[in-house]
Chain A
Amino acid sequence: MVELLQAPEQEEKVGREPIEKVSIVVSHGSLEGIYPGLIMANGARMEGIEADLFFTFFGLDAIRKDRQAKIKVATVGNPGMHLPTLVGAIPGMSWLATKMMSRQMEKLDIPPVGEFIELIHDSGGGIYACQATVEMFGLTEDDFVPELDGILTVGEFYERSAGAQIIFT
């Protein structure tokens, strides 16, 4: 067992196929729910890996014209914040946490959601909305930012994802 754990890293890499394509599903509408998917999609394109983003349920907020600029950190129901629930519920707490996190991200050159979607789109990444959610929320194509490449059924999503690694966030 010890020998196994100490097996040299290089040997393991031999013969492994590099990732060529990723399909990333974004299903949450909070700031911390949306950014990981965007960072992974952009990071894939930076490595020359094909990338598609598929937004579903509240993840759609990231590409909705009326909500994109209003995405907030969840300060309630988020144990990672280390805030008592009742404190997190005070009006303005979510706004404050979002403000602080956005400032920190800007320092690291991480763009706001709208600009990030545009960056990924211009990099050749696909931006797709989930048809079931679009219908459920009573939305149309006009409700989305111009970077939207299409509204897909789950079947079409799988078809587009042929040969890709699917990542659910």
Chain B
Amino acid sequence: MTTTEIAGTPVERDAEGFLVDPSQWTREVAEEIARENGIELTPAHWQVVQFMRNRYLETGSAPSIRSLGKESGVPIKELYQLFPKGPAKLAAKIGGIPKPRGCI
């Protein structure tokens, strides 16, 4: 766990770069983490990131890739175009929530 400054805000991150405390998240932090991962956030990216984050804050766990595809409004094919290196994992990282632990 290390504290780094992103977009002028000190944030705590784990070894893989996920935020430890979701409340330290801001839109600017999201943009910076996305850039670190080679992603420039478009409205479609935001839709997925917001869905992940809201679902986590409401239920305490991140949605599965199955429900991400069914309920976020962005179908599976497009999810992988937006986040080629893993939609659920990257959207969680950018959304400032812990790494999803599910197998699905």
Contacts and interface: CB of A to CB of B under 8 A. Distances in A.
Interface in B13-68: 64-67
Interface residues of B, number: 18
A118 to B, nearest CB: 8
A108 interface: yes
B102 interface: yes
Interface in A116-136: 119, 122-124
Interface in B45-101: 64-67, 69, 75-77, 80, 84-89
Interface stretch (A43-51, A68-76, A157-165): A43-51
A42 B104 contact: yes
Contacts, number: 45
A96 interface: no
B69 A42 contact: no
B104 A109 contact: yes
Interface string A25-39: 000000000000001
Interface residues of A, number: 16
A111 interface: yes
29 contacts: A39-B103, A42-B65, A42-B104, A43-B103, A45-B80, A45-B86, A46-B86, A46-B89, A47-B85, A47-B89, A48-B84, A48-B85, A48-B86, A108-B102, A109-B64, A109-B102, A110-B104, A111-B104, A115-B66, A119-B66, A119-B76, A122-B69, A122-B75, A122-B76, A122-B77, A122-B80, A123-B76, A123-B77, A124-B80
